[in-house]
């Protein structure tokens, strides 16, 4: 039986700022859904990844910045570092 991890929740304090950050990194916007003022979910996927991250308003009770242990896997760490830095990641 196949089992796949599809989505990881990333708690953020500013949804639009987070969306802009991941967009600048070249991540694909899969969804931005806000059926009302109290709920919004944004789903974004890194290039080449089968898994996505979601963040938004009322998506999680975890405090912003509390996600730990997430790993972005790359083939060349130095090239990835240079590319992410060039795109605005610190």
- Of 69, 86, 66, 70, nearest to 78 (Cα)? 86
The structural domains of the chain, ordered by start, are 7-86 (3.10.180.10)
**How far apart, in whole angstroms, are the C-alpha atoms of residue 86 and residue 3?**
35
User: For residue 15, what pLDDT band results from cuts at 50, 70 and 90?
Assistant: very high
Tens digit of pLDDT for each residue in 29-75? 999 999 999 999 999 999 999 999 999 999 999 999 999 988 888 99
Return the pLDDT at 4. 83
């Amino acid at each position: 039986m196949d089992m796949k991890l599809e989505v990881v929740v990333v708690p953020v304090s500013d949804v639009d700022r987070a969306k802009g950050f991941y967009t600048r990194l070249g991540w694909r916007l899969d969804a931005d859904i806000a059926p009302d003022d109290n709920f919004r979910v944004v789903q974004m996927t890194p290039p080449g990844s089968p898994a996505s991250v979601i963040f938004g308003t009322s998506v999680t009770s975890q405090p912003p910045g509390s996600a730990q242990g997430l790993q972005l896997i790359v083939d060349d760490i130095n090239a990835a570092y240079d590319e992410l830095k060039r795109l605005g990641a610190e």
